[in-house]
Amino acid sequence: MKYSPESLEAFVQTVASGSFSAAARALGKSQSTISAAIANLEDDLGIVLFDRQGRQPVLTPQGARALTRVQQIIAASQRLDDLALQLAQGVEPRLSIAISDFWQADHHENMLNRFAARYPDIEFECMIAEDEDVVDLLQGGRVHLGVVRTQPTLPPDIAVARLQVEAQMAIYLHQQHPLSALSEVSEGQLGEVRQLRLNTWSQQRPLPQSGQVWSAPSYLLLLEMAEQGFGWSVLPRWLVAQFGHQVLVELPVCGWPQHIAVDVLWSHRHPPGPAGRWMIDQLCAQPRD
196/268 same-domain check: yes
Indicate the residue among 56, 89, 122 that finishes a domain: 89
CATH number of the domain that residue 160 is part of: 3.40.190.290
Among the ranges given (72-81, 199-208, 217-226, 236-245), the one the predictor scored with the smallest mean pLDDT: 199-208
Residue pair 223/243 in contact (Cβ under 8 Å)? The answer is yes
Indicate the residue among 89, 114, 145 that finishes a domain: 89
Indicate the residue among 48, 63, 89 that finishes a domain: 89
242/115 same-domain check: yes
Could you give the percent of the chain with pLDDT greater than 90? 56
76/112 same-domain check: no
125/205 same-domain check: yes
Model confidence pLDDT, tens digit, residues 232-251? 999 999 999 999 999 999 99
Mean pLDDT of the chain: 88
Residue pair 197/211 in contact (Cβ under 8 Å)? The answer is no
Residue 269: the pLDDT is: 86
CA–CA distance, 13 with 179 (Å, rounded to integer): 58
151/21 same-domain check: no
- Confidence grade of residue 189 (pLDDT, cut at 50, 70, 90): very high
Residue type, 261: A
Number of independent structural domains in the chain: 2
Question: In terms of DSSP bridges, do strands 248-250 and 145-149 run parallel, antiparallel, or are they unpaired?
Answer: unpaired
CATH number of the domain that residue 57 is part of: 1.10.10.10
CA distance readout (Å), 83 to 78, 94, 241: 9, 19, 41
284/226 same-domain check: yes
- Chain-centre distance for alpha carbon 273: 18
Pick 23 or 208 by higher pLDDT.
Answer: 23
Q: 148: domain range? A: 96-289
30/146 same-domain check: no
Over 70: is that where the pLDDT of 81 sits?
Answer: yes
Over 80: is that where the pLDDT of 48 sits?
Answer: yes
User: Which residues, listed in sequence order, are joined to residue 162 by a DSSP beta bridge?
Assistant: 263
Pick 102 or 112 by higher pLDDT.
Answer: 112
Contacts of 246 (CB under 8 A, 6+ apart): none
Model confidence pLDDT, tens digit, residues 259-289? 989 999 999 888 888 899 999 999 888 554 4
Model confidence pLDDT, tens digit, residues 56-71? 899 999 999 999 999 8
24/138 same-domain check: no
261/135 same-domain check: yes
Asked if omega into 257 is within 30° of 0 (cis), the reply is yes
Residue 39: the pLDDT is: 92
Model confidence pLDDT, tens digit, residues 103-145? 776 667 788 889 988 888 789 999 989 888 999 999 999 999 9
Residue 289: the pLDDT is: 43
Among the ranges given (85-89, 199-203, 253-257), the one the predictor scored with the smallest mean pLDDT: 85-89
Length of the chain: 289
266/175 same-domain check: yes
84/124 same-domain check: no
125/60 same-domain check: no
